[in-house]
Homo-oligomer: A and B are copies of this chain.
Amino acid sequence: MSDDSKDTPSGAFIGYETCPVRRTLTVLNGKWKPLIIYELLPAPCRFNELKRRLPGVSQRLLTAQLRSLEEDGIVDRKVMEVVPPHVEYSLSEKGRSLQPVLQAMETWGENEVKNFPIS
Interface residues of A toward B: which range? 35 or more
User: How far, in angstroms, from A6 to B20 measured CA to CA in the complex?
Assistant: 38
Q: Is the CB of A105 within 8 A of B109?
A: no
Residue of B nearest to A103 (CB): B104
Q: Does A89 contact B (CB under 8 A)?
A: no
Classify the secondary structure of A's interface with B. Answer: helix
Q: Is the CB of B112 within 8 A of A108?
A: no
Q: Which of B11, B23, B98, B118 contacts A113 (CB 8 A)?
A: B23
Q: Which of A30-38, A44-52, A62-70, A77-85 contacts B (4 or more CB under 8 A)?
A: A30-38
User: How far, in angstroms, from A113 to B18 measured CA to CA in the complex?
Assistant: 6
Interface, chain A (partner B; CB < 8 A):
6, 11, 13-15, 17-25, 27-29, 31, 34-35, 38, 55-56, 97-98, 100-113, 117-119
Q: List 23 A-B contacts (CB under 8 A).
A: A6-B118, A6-B119, A11-B31, A13-B35, A15-B55, A17-B113, A20-B105, A20-B108, A20-B109, A20-B110, A21-B34, A21-B35, A21-B105, A22-B35, A23-B109, A24-B106, A24-B108, A25-B34, A98-B108, A100-B108, A101-B104, A101-B105, A101-B108
